[in-house]
Chain A
């Protein structure tokens, strides 16, 4: 990503950590006793957030909350239309536990149109029969195209449809922050690269 655009930080390192803390607490509060939970992250930044979340949950609950990674490429609804920037690359789905009967906390970095979540739900159903699926996202944008809602959202971002929201994490980008592109003139270019989240 070039830094030609002006980026505004809407969540800094501390705020991200706090959001994750709050999410952890709320998840624990919601899960009835005795039921197993597991965390599954959607590649690729959802995966990192999922790992962090599962660590925190494990600590707080005093028991191991397993974590898995879901690749939704095969379930995308735009596979048969021309891609503009990046070609969807099939990667591995690594879920080393049985999802039957568990409460799955599905984790992604940004919820926007809802299409990725739809794809993830279809993928999970092909893997087994969870007791329930809860959606946890760091950023909840307002661009819904499908009737999908986040059960847990770190932060609601009021961002115009053409603007890019980027979640950066230490593990992948060296630093924890969420930025928004400010440059309105580059909106045209960006409507082409709809990040279908």
Chain B
């Protein structure tokens, strides 16, 4: 519900960030613009600013993730918030507390922002309906990973100026990828043309109804794209065996030095991390001059600071 206020100006009034599908262009741009203002904090000697001072941010991670969690912890700390880590592996069913019970407990403790990562799509939404605090989705099942989507478009925008008309390829296990979905929403809304690339066995049902093109051949599109986002093959998520071997997958869909020779010289190479070196991307490419992988991490911090700041602002509006 980011929308115009009485004076017709844009106002951010979403106290939850659950996904990018429901955001409009103005809202996405607003977050990116706000993130720009946060980049500077990480370059000073005192890397702190006070807007979340006295606020409690909880990292509620039901799935393993060091990098996203650390990124959020650092972002919250930079804004002077108090951070609580609440990590619990496995689903709630049959193992102690249900998600709602956990939510009610957190509420009783008095938290302001919950950053949640969960294996069930829709879990952050369920949480947001049952808790007063702000909810920020750090990844839910294969639904969305909004801060990743935002930092990806932020990175592209910072280097290329705008996403309008850019051709972007997202390569890998699309069917199980929340990064692919969040990317798709943000990038298409900002005017880019997105192509999902991967074997047919890793494409989600009715992918042709999504606002993207689909290609089963990396070789066919490598020359045409301005940005390429390589997704990690998540062995822990693959059901059955969607491709006969790692060898064959890399052969057809790996980003090799060879393929890079045919790509545009100023192509941006992205990856949400962690990288499976030699599997979806060759080391030389990951470390090469077109790679912006480390910039993604850096920008992730500014984007997450912006998100925490904005949802907190919206919550303050409510009172």
Contacts and interface: CB of A to CB of B under 8 A. Distances in A.
Given A87-B5, A127-B46, A92 B316 contact: no
B23 interface: no
B37 A126 contact: no
B46 A126 contact: yes
A123 B49 CA distance: 8
B7 A74 contact: no
Interface residues of A, number: 26
A92 B36 CA distance: 6
A81 interface: yes
A123 B50 CA distance: 9
A123 B44 CA distance: 11
B291 interface: no
Nearest to A73: B37
A128 B47 CA distance: 11
Contacts of A92: 36-37, 39-40
Interface string B9-33: 1111000000000000000000001
B51 A79 contact: yes
Given A90-B309, A93-B40, A83 B317 contact: yes
A89 B45 CA distance: 23
B34 to A, nearest CB: 5
Contacts of B41: 74
A85 B6 CA distance: 8
Contacts of B40: 92-94
Contacts of A126: 44, 46, 48-49
B316 A75 contact: no
In this complex, the member of A79, A80, A93, A125 whose beta carbon has the largest number of chain B beta carbons within 10 angstroms is A80
B316 A82 contact: yes
B34 A89 contact: yes
A89 B317 CA distance: 14
Given A79-B316, A83-B317, A90 B34 contact: yes
Interface in B269-319: 306, 309, 312-313, 316-319
Tell me the dominant secondary structure on chain A's binding face.
Answer: loop
Given A74-B51, A90-B38, A90-B309, A85 B7 contact: yes
Nearest to B46: A126
Nearest to B310: A90
In this complex, the member of A74, A81, A123 whose beta carbon has the largest number of chain B beta carbons within 10 angstroms is A74
A38 to B, nearest CB: 16
Given A71-B37, A79-B316, A82-B316, A87 B11 contact: yes
A75 B49 contact: yes
Contacts of B11: 87
B313 A127 contact: no
B7 A88 contact: no
Nearest to B9: A86
Nearest to B50: A75
A75 B80 CA distance: 11
Contact of B316 (A80, A86, A123): A80
A132 B7 CA distance: 40
Interface string A91-126: 111100000000000000000000000000011011
A74 B313 CA distance: 11
Contact of B306 (A81, A90, A128): A90
B301 to A, nearest CB: 14
Nearest to A123: B49
Given A79-B313, A85-B7, A74 B319 contact: no
A74 to B, nearest CB: 4
Contacts of A91: 36-37
Given A79-B51, A87-B313, A91-B37, A127 B9 contact: no
A123 B48 CA distance: 10
Given A74-B49, A85-B5, A87-B5, 9 more contacts: A73-B37, A74-B309, A79-B51, A82-B316, A82-B318, A82-B319, A86-B7, A90-B309, A126-B44
Q: Which 9 A-B pairs have the closest CB atoms?
A: A90-B37, A74-B49, A126-B46, A80-B316, A74-B51, A90-B34, A87-B11, A91-B37, A92-B37
